[in-house]
Amino acid sequence: MLTLDPKLVITDIGFALSILVTLFLGVLVFYQSPKKTVNRIFALFSITTALFFISHIVGINISDPELSRNVLMLNMSTILNAILTAHWIVALVGRDQAQRKVLAVFYAIAFALIGFYLVAPQTFLLPSKPVLYFPNYYVQGEYYYLGDIFFYSVFLYFMYHAIAGYFKADAILKKRIRYVLTGIIGTYLVSITLALPLYGYEVDPFIASTGGLFLILIAYGLIKEELWDIHVIAKQALGYGLAITGVGLFLAALNFLNAYIAGQIPTFPLWLFPLVSAALTIFIARLVWGKLKQSDEIKYEFITVVTHTFRTPLTELKWALDNMRAETNPLKFRQFLTGIEAATRRLSELTEVLISASKSEGWNYEYHRVPVDIKKMLEELKDMNTAEARLKHLSLPLSSEDGLLGLVDKHKTVYAIQAVLQNAITYTKDRGTIAIHAQALPKKIRISIQDTGIGIRKEHLRHIFKKFYRTQEARKTDTEGLGIGLFVAKNIIEKQGGRMWADSEGLGKGSTFFIELPSA
């Protein structure tokens, strides 16, 4: 009958989850911004960390001392871990160029140490021995301590630069550094318990299996450059963590149950639970692939639309310039100039939209918030859109309480609300209505823009603020839309401490966009 130590099983499950979390975060950070040095180095760091976790979980479960030692030799990955951590931290605080020679020396020492241990493995680890409830555990060799000296020397080096960089950083970077340092210190503290049995301290190192969870804080600090809303980010991080943990626990439970039942019932079909695990894995893979494919399709559509949208005014420019060369009639010459002016203005507007989409995501997109008369601002916006609304015979009623003062950046807020109004005009049929209303709420002001347009399907409501996202109905109505306006608008509103969302009863029933701004 198969007997498994419950403590060993729990430890194995813990490390298995840490492996999943570590690899997931590495991929997430890398694809968030693959061109950034910090993100690339962190991705490599996640691979070496996962390699260590894998070697540990396999090595401690092998009963053969020599084979266990050979697997645990991959513990050398911690040497690379140290220098990779140092590299992305000095890059995070903007010191990687100034420290490139020091980093090169550390890399050289790291690879020299690894080479030495590979040539003489007995100097790193001896054949494994049973410790606590582990079938086998690390036994340090004569020069194992050299790796420890290097590891903690590099630790002190990057901690110095992280702290020094913290005191010179702006508010946003300081928040990022705090999250990163909290994650690193947490990871290092729990990892120390792995080394205690090597030095004769019989302390259960199970807590080290949670090391991968601390990486969530590190990844959070790296990919969230704008940390204005901790609730949103915490919710996302919790969602990622719970999803990974849930799937990992389920798979681990299936495998454990399979092993247990097989030990109790020799005739039990061993293929059953692995088949279920494989089916679940395929289902998750298909789900992820579907999301990635959808993202690629949206980007492809965006590129196609942008190409078409830019081609139109460029073609008009070329046509006008070609005709002007041979034109002698002053009246027609002025008409061509007017066409060139209109095409140039359209190109400028398109470029501004694309630049705004890029800037609105960045932490360095500055906001100058001052008390603003909301009613007056909305009246100005109404005047800006009246001429275009008249072309479609649209009604633009405005109702607002007096004395509403919002603490906002007026220029950017006008841009955001204008994006919503422009959408409403575009997607509302002739002789429709676009009603603008503003009211005071406790510590905030709510603006609503209600139209009688094409409406939005319920399943699309949570997606319409995503970059490049356009519904099929929107593409049919406006073939040159970029799917950026609402994305930029929501970013602008939220980064001022506000909120933005939409509601609709469905197709053909119009829609209402809500904007909440902080009161002055």
| Domain contains 86 | yes
| Domain contains 328 | no
At 416 the pLDDT is 87
pTM above 0.85, yes or no: no
Q: Assign 358 to helix, strand or coil.
A: helix
| Domain contains 296 | no
Average pLDDT over residues 300-325: 63
**Domain-ending residue, one of 165, 191, 226:** 226
- If one compares 416 and 313, the residue with the highest pLDDT of the two is 416
Q: How many helices (H) and strands (E) does the chain have?
A: 15, 9
| Domain contains 333 | no
| 432-475 confidence digits (pLDDT tens) | 999 999 999 998 999 999 999 889 888 888 778 877 676 677 66
| 491-517 confidence digits (pLDDT tens) | 888 888 899 999 998 888 899 999 999
Average pLDDT over residues 231-259: 53
| Domain contains 55 | yes
Lowest mean pLDDT among 186-190, 236-240, 414-418, 430-434: 236-240
Our count of domains for the chain comes to 2
Neighbour-count burial for 3-30, b at 16+ CB within 10 Å, e otherwise? eeeeebbebbbbbbbbbbbbbbbbebbb
At 270 the pLDDT is 60
Within the chain, what is the greatest distance between any pair of CA atoms?
101
Neighbour-count burial for 104-119, b at 16+ CB within 10 Å, e otherwise? eebeebbeebbeebee
CATH number where 398 lies: 3.30.565.10
Task: Name the token pair of 374.
Answer: 């909301």
* CA dist., res. 395 & res. 432, Å (int): 6
| Domain contains 58 | yes
**Domain-ending residue, one of 202, 226, 250:** 226
At 127 the pLDDT is 92
Give the number of C-alpha atoms closer than 13 A to the C-alpha of residue 420, restricted to the C-beta side: 30
CATH number where 193 lies: 1.20.1070.10
**Domain-ending residue, one of 197, 226, 255:** 226
- What is the span of the domain harbouring residue 113? 6-226
| Domain contains 443 | yes
The H or E element containing residue 499 is strand 499-503
Task: Name the token pair of 417.
Answer: 């609300």
Q: Rg of the chain's alpha carbons, rounded to an integer?
A: 30
| Domain contains 262 | no
Of the candidates 128, 123, 22, the residue with the CA atom closest to the CA atom of residue 71: 128
- If one compares 453 and 215, the residue with the highest pLDDT of the two is 453
The H or E element containing residue 159 is helix 144-168
* Residue 225: band (very low, low, confident or very high) from pLDDT cuts 50, 70, 90: very low
